[in-house]
Structure 1
Amino acid sequence: MLSLPSGLRVAVLTVSMAVSSIAHSSELPATGRKIVIEKTGERYEWTLVQAPLPTIADDQVLVRVHAISLNRGELSRLERQNFAEAAKTPVSDAAGEVVAVGRAVKDVRKGERVTSTYFRNWIDGPYREAYLDAVYGWSIEGVAAEYVALDARAVVPIAKDFSYEEASTLPTAALTAWNGVLGRVNTQKGDVVLVQGTGGVSTFALQFAVAAGARTIVTSSSDEKLAHAYKLGAREGINYRKEPDWSKAVLRVTDGRGADLVIDVVGKSTLGQSVDSLADEGTLAIIGGITGYDGSLSAWGLLKKSATAKGIFVGSRADYLRMNEFIARHHLRPLIDRVYPIEQYKEALQAMAAGNFMGKIVLTF
């Protein structure tokens, strides 16, 4: 049932350094729950274990995690074994409370509510491929743990009126959508924006586009989901099961103009129709690869429209802060479909794999 709820680099220190940087205190437990990825036969699976709390370096903070949100990457990393062997703990998105700070930390306080960031090292400026060497839950240890050590410069404050559950949805899905619609693409009032699907990134993209004054079209396999997309501000909905050539439907409802921006979250199987859906001088934002990342684009399809194809890979901490300002200004709220306790992680992963949800799936500690 759809609902809107209300509200590592892990440095190894010596015992003396751990004491001086207050990595642990008498108020904290010795252990906490965490998810680890383990190989069972030929498969990789999540397992909930009890583990010692991490120690923090001088420039890190210790966060007591209250909520984590899932992205499709959680599934692909298990299916394709697409993660670094060193990153035994999955998930990139967490929200929690700072319970200890390293002695060199000046801008984050104990008791502050924060989220993680997707990239540990992308603080500001243009993207660099080197940032992939430090992605939580992929190339370094993730945040699916009751206590996590995070670099102080890579955490973001949570808005006062956001719950931990809501805040946990922002680091990857929301920021990707933000950069796809506004941060790295200059969507204007009156533009036509086509959004594929109604998952986490897509729902945020719909909300951002509507808030920017764009005319937004949504594709989905479900009339029920399209009905909910209308409530979020979509102007038109296209059921691609009923209209497999949905690019023609896009041209039909726009009187032949097409979409100024197409948010492609599916990848290989949709790239062709995404290009066909574009307006002259439109932009194709390539965001996801649910059906694979090895598709092909028609050079003539782009050339004849003088269109642009642009890859969007989440964003920097500075982008995150700008997105939060936009969210606050437009009074936007994340759409959370289901919230599970951490012990029900198997059910949460099954729900993610089934795809019968809108917005985000969240787990709480």
Structure 2
Amino acid sequence: MRLVRLRVPGGLENLELVEEDHPQPRPGELLVRIRACSLNFRDDFVAQGKTPCADGRVPLSDGAGEVVALGDDVDEFKVADSVVSTFYPYWLGGEMTPATKRDIPGESFDGYASEYVCMPAHAFTKAPAGYTHLEAATLTCTRVTAWRGLVVCGKVKPGDTVLILGTGSVSLFALQFAKAAGARVIATSSLEEKLGQLRRLGADTVINYKAVPDWGQKAKDLTDGRGVDQVIEVGGPGTLTQSITACRAGGHIALIGVLTGFAGEVSIPALFSNQIRISGISIGSRDDQEDMIRAITANRLKPVIDSSFPLQEIGAAFKYYESQKHFGKVCLEL
């Protein structure tokens, strides 16, 4: 089989395509022929060496394909099932604990940039019916994040107003889930072309945050001064103050990203005086993923995919991802 290994100290020039014998499943494991992967912000950090990992690590946390062999004691799957990976293979349900978040594919153990992988059966779920492998590969990281932030922790409901920031894949998936739930969506971007794409995807109102620096107040004004019910906050310290301004009393902020940095000042009185709830979101559990897949199937939702690259062009895929020219997921096809 062909696979990619990342040599320390990292960097795209240290992504090495190699050939090795494919593994065999042990009891409780699946052997999966990986057909597609998708790239995420965290994968880029690993590839660049900003997130330390062992020499020779196989990158990427999101993979989809079909089951080709079963180990003993596997009852949930059968050969030829279409499956998709989970981000935390040991977080099966309930609240996260230190034990359930200990292992991450593509970081603490080998990931999915490989034509074949052997993993415990609970490291996968079945893919949505009717999805291609390429579509299924978009689910694991960013889509489950959007689902957990908006639905599990945010409890979005019809009539809510949801503010999404930018056009990253978490925000685009949150837009889809919000519209499926009957919510109104306000979306931001700095590019007119992407604002048009957001409208076509279903955003009710868009704000150019460069043209309107006080976009938090603008979002609040668009709700007749009440404030938005939820914010999908992917920016971090550089945008959090505006997100707090946009929120209604008792509103919810799903804190997901750190695109503007890792630390900053926050107005604590603005939070407690308005009883704003902030949830730190780190992907979700296997149960969350299965619930999300049922919702995707019921609402016939399809992911937004920008482009795909062959496995041997993984370096070019990361360069394109880093250019931020994409709208939707950047993927690999194996």
Assess same fold via TM > 0.5: yes
Match of 1:200 in 2: 169
Equivalence for 2:83: 114
Taking the aligned partners of 2:116 and 2:170, their CA distance within structure 1 comes to 26
| Residue type of the alignment partner of 1:52 | D
The offset of 1:262, in angstroms, is: 0.6
Bigger mean CA offset, 138-147 vs 291-300: 291-300
SS state at 1:352 partner: helix
1: CA distance, partners of 2:15 / 2:48? 12
Q: 1:89 aligns with which of 45, 51, 58?
A: 58
Identify the residue that residue 103 of structure 2 maps to in structure 1: 134
Q: Deviations over 1:19-78 (max 9, x none)?
A: xxxxxxxxxxxxx11111113698873222112212322111110000000101111223
Q: How many residues align?
A: 334
> 1:134 is paired with a residue of what secondary structure?
coil
Listed as ranges, the gaps of 5+ residues in structure 1 are: 1-31
Q: Shift of the alpha carbon at 1:105? A: 1.3
* Partner in structure 1 of residue 159 of structure 2: 190
Partner of 1:21: none
**Cα deviation code 1:329-354 (max 9, x no counterpart):** 11110000111111221221011101
Note if contact 1:86-1:139 (Cα within 8 Å) is conserved in structure 2: no
**Map 1:324-339 → 2, pairs under 5 A:** 324-339=293-308
CA shift, 1:106, in A, is 1.7
1:230/1:102 Cα in 2 relative to 1: closer, same or farther (>3 Å)?
same
Aligned residue runs from structure 1 range 313-332, under 5 A: 313-332=282-301
Displacement of 1:146 in angstroms is 0.5
Q: Give the stretch that moved more between structures: 295-304 or 185-194.
A: 295-304
Query: Structure 2: which amino acid aligns with 1:222?
Result: L
CA distance, structure 2, for counterparts of residue 42 and residue 175 of structure 1:
27
Report if aligned partners of 2:33, 2:65 keep a CA contact under 8 Å in 1.
Answer: yes
Alpha-carbon separation, structure 2, partners of 1:264 and 1:65: 32
> Is the contact between residue 201 and residue 359 of structure 1 (CA under 8 Å) also seen in structure 2?
no
Preserved contact between residue 44 and residue 81 of structure 1 (Cα < 8 Å): no
Q: Indicate which of 20, 37, 48 corresponds to 2:17.
A: 48
Alignment counterpart, residue 220 of structure 1, candidates 189, 195, 199: 189
Counterpart-to-counterpart distance in 1, 2:287 and 2:222: 37
Contact kept? 2:188, 2:195, Cα under 8 Å? yes
Q: Is the 8 A contact 2:307 2:331 kept in 1?
A: yes
Q: Secondary structure at the match of 1:84?
A: coil
Say if 2:125 is the partner of 1:156: yes
TM-score normalized by structure 2? 0.95
- Alpha-carbon shift at residue 154 of structure 1 (Å): 2.1
> C-alpha separation between the residues in 2 aligned to 1:34 and 1:296?
43
Alpha-carbon deviation of 1:244? 2.0
Q: Assess if the C-alpha contact under 8 Å between 1:302 and 1:308 holds in 2.
A: yes
TM-score, normalization: structure 1? 0.88
Amino acid across the alignment from 1:360: K
**Contact conserved, 1:87 with 1:142, CA < 8 A, in 2?**
no
Partner of 1:115: helix, strand, or coil?
strand
Q: Look up the equivalent residue of 1:361 and give its one-letter code.
A: V
- Check 1:172–1:327 CA distance in 2 against 1; reply closer, same or farther (3 A cut): same
Q: Look up the match of 2:35.
A: 66
Tell me the equivalent position of 2:69.
100
